Structure 1
Amino acid sequence: MIIVLIGYMGSGKSTIGKALATKLNCKFLDLDDYISDKENTSISNLFKKKGEIYFRKKETEYLKELVNSSQPIVLALGGGTPCYGNNMTLLTETPHVVSFYLKLSIPLLAKRLFNERDTRPLISHLEIEAELLEFIGKHLFERTQYYSKSDFTLQTDYKSEQEILEDLMSHLV
């Protein structure tokens, strides 16, 4: 089985993914890290040198590669991955893939992301929290239609890592 974690940046995909992989005794992969390794460059360099279209094509190519793997993995997607090409269709129509949308409210996302702006190029230009709230709101308005196609949606507001893991595990039994 391949467990795919979907959600906006800052929603906890990597944190929950690593903990889940440990609990299930399988490998954890972050799709962006996987792409960086395969392309031998950072995601930001890939965008700068080859553009978003190239990146999105590679993203889909590597997603297909991982989804077709015979090994069990927990895979965290980039926040935009489900929104491009046929990526969500690939996930929903592949029998051994189970997808989870880690849904965190806009105010909590903004609170979590505000101090991480420097490490997140997409939001590094936003200087006040109100701008970040508006930015996230617009993005989520566009992305929710894709995220909501996940097999399961887990509302994660004010839940501990352990509570989210238990919720997630309850859907795997």
Structure 2
Amino acid sequence: MQISLVGYMAAGKSTITKHLASQLESPSWDLDDEIAKIGGEDVADILRSKGEIAFRKLERETLLETLQLNGVLATGGGTPCYYDNMDVLLKESYVVYLQWPMKTLIERARSARESRPLFDGVSDEDLPEYIAKHVFDRRPYYERANHIVFCDGKSVDDITKEIIEKWKSQSQHT
């Protein structure tokens, strides 16, 4: 794998991955899509039917397989936070954290909450606090990335260009 994107749910990892791969003329991989292929159902259904522990095991196996491929990878929001996944990501790829202001993450998550099983049972009123705590818990993993993109106010093109510049600069020094 060349580049892996990490960040909270609804941070735009899948969108940026596709655009970045296109710019690099490289394949793109979405870990959730790969998990769905192996698991036989989409990630939301796997989480709801089998539970988070079973999902995280499948996610780990799929991550290890997918990292052997060449291209750009969109990880799941929790992927870097389980097992030694962040260590593996850093060893096998250039890792970029897509960081957004909390307000933006809450707005995006709210509009996509039906497809986010981790929000099941969380009231709309409690969602901001839930997301803030989640991001707080996950941030130490995300911040280990090779590069952090502060995405607020940037277009997909701007974010992609920044990642390519930093990645090329990094790869020239290794």
Give the 3-state SS of the residue equivalent to 2:97 in structure 1.
strand
Instruction: Tell me what 1:61 maps to.
Output: 61
Pairing 1:160–2:155 present: yes
Q: How many residues align?
A: 168
Give the 3-state SS of the residue equivalent to 1:171 in structure 2.
helix
Instruction: Tell me what 1:33 maps to.
Output: 33
**Length-normalised TM-score, structure 1:** 0.90
Counterpart mapping for 1:61-140 below 5 A: 61-69=61-69, 72-94=70-92, 97-128=93-124, 130-140=125-135
Runs of 4+ in structure 1 displaced over 3 angstroms?
124-128
**Cα shift readout 1:49-95 (whole Å, capped 9, x = no counterpart):** 333222111111111111123xx21110000000000101111223x
Q: Identity of counterpart residues, as a percentage?
A: 39
Distance 1:51 1:131, change over 3 A: closer
Tell me, in whole angstroms, the C-alpha distance in 2 between the residues paired with 1:50 and 1:123. Answer: 16
Post-superposition offset of 1:131: 2.3
Tell me, in whole angstroms, the C-alpha distance in 2 between the residues paired with 1:25 and 1:93. Answer: 23
**Cα shift readout 1:130-160 (whole Å, capped 9, x = no counterpart):** 5222111100110001101111111101111
Give the 3-state SS of the residue equivalent to 1:100 in structure 2.
strand
Computed over aligned residues only, the root mean square deviation of the Cα atoms, in angstroms, reads: 1.5
Distance 1:15 1:64, change over 3 A: same
Instruction: Tell me what 1:2 maps to.
Output: 2
- In 1, are the aligned partners of 2:102 and 2:132 still within 8 Å (CA)? yes
Tell me, in whole angstroms, the C-alpha distance in 2 between the residues paired with 1:125 and 1:162. Answer: 36
Letter in 1 for 2:41: T
Unmatched runs of 5 consecutive residues or more in structure 2? 169-174
